[in-house]
Amino acid sequence: MAKFVMFLVFVVAVQAIGGLIGTTFTPGAWFDTLNKPFFNPPGYLFGIVWPVLYFLVAIAGWRVFMSEGTIPGWGLWVAQMLLNFAWSPVFFGAHQIFWGMWMILATLALSVTFISTTWHRDRVAALCFMPYCVWLAFALLLNTTIWIIN
């Protein structure tokens, strides 16, 4: 029962923090004025993708946390979450396209390292991060392109 409660804590915390940040730091009028590439997805897509990705990321974090140190990667998970959560305030809040790009790159690097670190000890945790890394790579491309064309 304690494992299930901790699972719920991880899922709710990641979803709640991500949701709060996402609703506090919205694209808004500033973002609307920026030039965007042809592959910029519609805004509603982010509201669909992020909850799914946050669920998978929460599962991975919960699995590593519950291993009590037998599965490495906890520090990587925490560090990438901090960067992930900081991106919207930097990009949408402070309008720092360049620094947002570097934050995504760092988040992606930490996430790929998380996968390689957990791969042999907890394949499920590693696999949960794969769609997240694909989305981060796309976000990096999008952010970089927006920086270049603006």
CATH number, residue 121: 1.20.1260.100
CA dist., res. 113 & res. 76, Å (int) = 8
Q: Average pLDDT over the chain, rounded to whole?
A: 97
Mean pLDDT of 1-13: 94
CA dist., res. 54 & res. 136, Å (int) = 12
**Identity of the amino acid at 44:** Y
User: How do residues 51-89 score in pLDDT, each as one tens digit?
Assistant: 999 999 999 999 999 998 888 999 999 999 999 999 999
Give the count of domains, the chain: 1
pLDDT surpasses 90 at 144? yes
The domain in which residue 31 lies consists of 2-149
